[in-house]
Amino acid sequence: MASTATIQPRSALHKARSPGRPKPCRARVVAAAATVSTAATTTAMAAAERTRAPAASVARMKSTGRRAASVASMWRQVQGSHDWDGLLRPLHPVLRDEVARYGELVAACYKVLDVDRSSARYMCCKYGKERVLEEAGVAGAGYEVTRYVYATPDVAGPPSTSSWVGYVAVSTDEMTRRLGRRDVLVSLRGTVTQAEWAANLMSALEPARLDARGAHPDVKVESGFLNLYTSSADSGGGGGMGSCRDQLLREVSRLVTSFSKDHPDEDMSVTLAGHSMGSALAMLLGYDLAELGLNRDASGRRVPVTVFSYGGPRVGNAAFKERCDELGVKVLRVANVRDPVTMLPGALLNEGTRGFLAGLGGDRYTHVGVELALDFLRLRDPASVHDLGAYVSSIKAETCGKVPNAAVDGSRGGVLAKAMEFVEGQRAVAFAWKKAALQMGGLVQTLGMI
């Protein structure tokens, strides 16, 4: 049976999801000081008008039609320069295509991962960097893979064997012209191995300690994700090249510096895309790059860092979110409202907690960024709620504001509508039980019982 898919406005989802959910942030413009000269004031006001949330510019692009709007003409908005204001409701076609495109580049990680236990390349990529995208079915993606990335969780014992979790790539000259900037891409898969699952269950918050001066001890992240990001091994698939963090920081900063030197007139972006666990790693990397100032090009200009998260969990506390906002790390969370992973960790105590539980105090998990909410479920495949392929299909469907599977005219439509109403009722009951189980699990984790 076909899946049902909608992209719903946040107002429509408010009743279905936990109350008190934070509203997406909005760009703010600071007015020019009254003490400047009249000419300077006029200039400052004009500059402020240009940097205001781009509602007018987005409206102009929409009014001129899809053909006039291109990635190159609005790439900064697509990358979140104004927190996607005016692009989500309804979903702008250029943003839709870009979110789907990055999702497919993450899906490539699953297609080329060797999961055959008898293979000599078990938990490594089956192909070399030169042909991996072609073998993954995205030959025309317009990127050149420059490095493979490995992670080594040590939660199940001493770190030993590393697993391939994704790749770093850079846009080709042709793709750069289409995108309007040189794009450095990091693509990261979700959980596969038992050690990775074990890391995901380590839900205690601990200080990130990724800033060089230790100036932000209040910034805390999930201990399992941090372990996966920072642990290293001297042997295994990673070739003794250090932790996942070391590999990523070295390669991304190398590409930013190298291409900005060779092409000083080009604009540049850093895009971090991940699914599930991979989105958590992407979040940590985005914060890390900005905190260390490694997103600066050869001339010292700040290169925008954007995270596209697909079915991603919460990663850190409120201080982590606030610091990401201060550093200008932009995050678009593509989240299916039926996907339990997006409710974890902190299913019980989180940014939306109200009432008695809110009085317990202490750190609580907080989502970062702006949410693009989806609503889909394949009735014959409940696990599809977290499937990356289903996420991408839902985005491509472009059903924003439409009712999925509209009833057929006549009596047949009436029967179908009643059948769907019954299924929805059964599904609502099942989802309520699932949510209750998640909340109990969140409480157990919060109390440190596991």
Q: Which of 82, 89, 80, 23 is nearest to 62 (CA)?
A: 89
Q: What is the pLDDT of residue 438?
A: 42
Sorted by sequence, the CB contacts under 8 Å of residue 426 that are 6+ apart come out as none
- pLDDT the model gives residue 154: 76
**Which helix (H) or strand (E) covers residue 171, if one does?**
strand 163-171
Domain range summary for the chain, segments of one domain joined by +: 4-24+88-405, 409-450
Of 219, 222, 220, 218, give the one whose Cα is nearest residue 204.
222
CA atoms within 13 A on the CB side of 298: 14
CA angle at residue 378 from 377 to 382, to 5 degrees?
A: 80
This prediction's pTM: 0.76
With the C-alpha atoms ordered 14, 429, 391, 92, is the resulting torsion angle positive or negative? negative
Note down pLDDT in tens along the chain; length 450 residues: 444 444 554 444 444 444 444 444 433 333 333 333 333 433 343 344 334 434 444 444 443 344 347 999 999 999 999 999 999 999 999 999 999 999 999 999 999 999 999 999 999 999 999 999 999 999 999 999 999 999 987 765 555 578 999 999 999 999 999 999 999 999 999 988 777 877 777 778 999 999 878 789 999 999 999 999 999 865 444 456 789 999 999 999 999 999 999 999 999 999 999 999 999 999 999 999 999 999 999 999 999 999 999 999 999 999 999 999 999 999 999 999 999 999 999 888 778 877 767 666 678 899 999 999 999 998 888 889 999 999 999 999 964 433 333 222 333 333 333 333 333 444 443 444 344 444 434 433 333 333
Could you identify the residue written with the tokens 């509203």? Answer: 23
- Give the residue from 334, 390, 269, 403 showing the smallest Cα distance to 96: 334
Q: At what angle do helices 277-292 and 223-230 cross, to 10 degrees?
A: 70
Residue 160's pLDDT is: 57
Residue 53 CB-half CA count within 13 A? 11
Q: What is the pLDDT of residue 203?
A: 77
Which residue pairs from 31-40 have beta carbons closer than 8 angstroms and sit at least 24 positions apart in sequence? none
- The DSSP secondary structure of 264-305, one letter per residue, reads TTS-EEEEEEEETHHHHHHHHHHHHHHHHTTTB-TTSPBPPE
Residue whose C-alpha is closest to residue 229's, from 254, 206, 248: 248
**Residue 144: strand pairing partners:** 170
Give the pLDDT score at 362: 72
**The CATH number, out of the four listed (3.40.50.720, 3.40.50.1820, 1.10.3720.10, 3.40.50.300), of the domain defined by the range 4-24+88-405:** 3.40.50.1820
Q: Report, as residue numbers or ranges, the catalytic residues.
A: 276, 339, 386
Burial class (CB in 10 A: 0-12, 13-18, 19+), 313: buried
3-state secondary structure of 333: strand
Residue 174's pLDDT is 97
The predicted structure's pLDDT at residue 363: 85
Please choose, from the candidates 309, 262, 251, the residue with its C-alpha nearest in 3D space to the C-alpha of residue 284: 309
Rounded to whole angstroms, what are the CA distances from 142 to 32, 90, 171, 391? 42, 28, 6, 22
**Residue 7 host element (H or E):** strand 4-7
